[in-house]
């Protein structure tokens, strides 16, 4: 099955909000997946995670997590690198506790370095994180994201190569790829090429549990500016859904439009016509 996930608590959630209420409200709207936006910080209370797990089980909600933005696995300063690894491990272990499938992580910035040197640094940091897999996050995937700016580590090939090395799968964001390339990755042919490369690195079976992001996006030659609603963007989103269907992709596609549930349901409705 392919889920379309709302990126955070739906805007129309009544009352004071919160993740549990958000899960229940998303369910009442017919949404089957949610990404929890831990982008400022990772929640600290394990009991809250148990409540989330219970609500998600009751509502049959497929959960993923977005890890904090303040991460650079290519940081030059030891303290910054250690803090980055800790944020990722905290997110992974809390995700494990609430039953989430995968945690999306923005891996690094190049900081003017040669991409292959940056890759080596990110690889070493990832090896350190993966040493804790069995004890802290045995069921959760570490999903390195394809990034929207050329200054950010995270081309499709970088995250695929890294994922293959550590037997994990990336968070592929075709909107970021579209912005980073200043307009490419917006046709059926290109998305088929994208999935061909995905399969080349990770195998055909990997298409049965993807963690992807999608939205409209505003961009310049410097890459991503901001996410846009589907209908206010140049995204050929219906064609994208067609490719998802034709390739038999399963797992979750998080809709990162600012119109959270409205565009999630727009994609879900359109996809359900196949």
Positions touching Zn ion (CB under 5 A) are: 145
Q: 267 and 254 in contact (C-beta within 8 Å)?
A: no
The CB-nearest residue to Zn ion is 145
Closest approach, Cβ 105 to Zn ion, in A, equals: 8
Distance, in Å, from the CA atom of 176 to the CA atom of 157, rounded to the nearest integer, reads 14
Classify 256 in phi/psi space as left (phi over 0), alpha (psi -120 to 50) or beta. alpha
Report the residue number, 3 or 66, with the smaller CB distance to Zn ion. 66
Q: Which of 7/206 has CB closer to Zn ion? A: 7
- Beta carbon of residue 147, minimum distance to Zn ion (angstroms, whole number): 8
- The residue among 145 and 261 lying less far from Zn ion, judged by its C-beta, is 145
User: CA-CA distance, 60 to 27, in Å (whole number)?
Assistant: 8
Closer to Zn ion by Cβ: residue 99 or 107:
107
Smallest distance, Zn ion to C-beta of residue 175, A: 10
Task: Provide, rounded to whole angstroms, the least separation between the CB of residue 51 and Zn ion.
Answer: 25
Closest CA to 108 of 152, 148, 144, 141: 152
- Minimum CB distance to Zn ion, residue 85 (Å): 18
In this structure, the number of other CB atoms found within 10 A of the CB of residue 29 comes to: 15
| CB nearer to Zn ion: pick between 145 and 262 | 145
Let me know: does 163 contact 122? Beta carbons within 8 Å.
Answer: no
In sequence order, the 6+-apart residues with CB closer than 8 A to the CB of 233 are 215, 216, 217, 218
């Amino acid at each position: 099955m392919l889920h379309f996930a709302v990126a955070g608590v739906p805007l129309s959630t009544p009352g004071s909000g919160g993740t549990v209420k958000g899960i229940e409200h998303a369910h009442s709207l017919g949404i089957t997946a949610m990404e929890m936006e831990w982008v400022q910080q990772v929640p600290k209370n394990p009991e809250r995670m148990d409540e989330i797990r219970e609500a998600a089980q009751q509502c049959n909600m497929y959960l993923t997590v977005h890890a904090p933005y303040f991460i650079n696995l290519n940081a030059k300063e030891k303290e910054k690198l250690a803090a980055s690894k800790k944020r990722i491990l905290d997110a992974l272990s809390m995700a494990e506790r609430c039953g989430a499938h995968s945690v999306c992580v923005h891996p690094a910035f190049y900081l003017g370095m040669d991409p292959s040197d940056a890759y080596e640094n990110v690889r070493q940091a990832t090896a350190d994180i993966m040493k804790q897999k069995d004890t802290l996050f045995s069921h959760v995937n570490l999903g390195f994201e394809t990034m929207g700016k050329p200054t950010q580590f995270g081309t499709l090939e970088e995250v695929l190569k890294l994922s293959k090395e550590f037997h994990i799968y990336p968070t592929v964001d075709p909107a970021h790829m579209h912005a980073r390339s200043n307009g490419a990755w917006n046709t059926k042919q290109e998305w088929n090429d994208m999935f061909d490369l995905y399969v080349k690195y990770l195998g055909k079976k990997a298409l049965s549990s993807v963690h992807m992001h999608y939205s409209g996006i505003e961009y310049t030659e410097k890459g991503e500016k901001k996410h846009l609603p589907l209908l206010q963007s140049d995204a050929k989103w219906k064609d994208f859904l067609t490719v998802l269907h034709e390739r038999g992709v399963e797992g979750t596609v998080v809709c990162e439009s600012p119109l959270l549930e409205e565009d999630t349901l727009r994609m879900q409705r359109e996809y359900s016509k196949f």
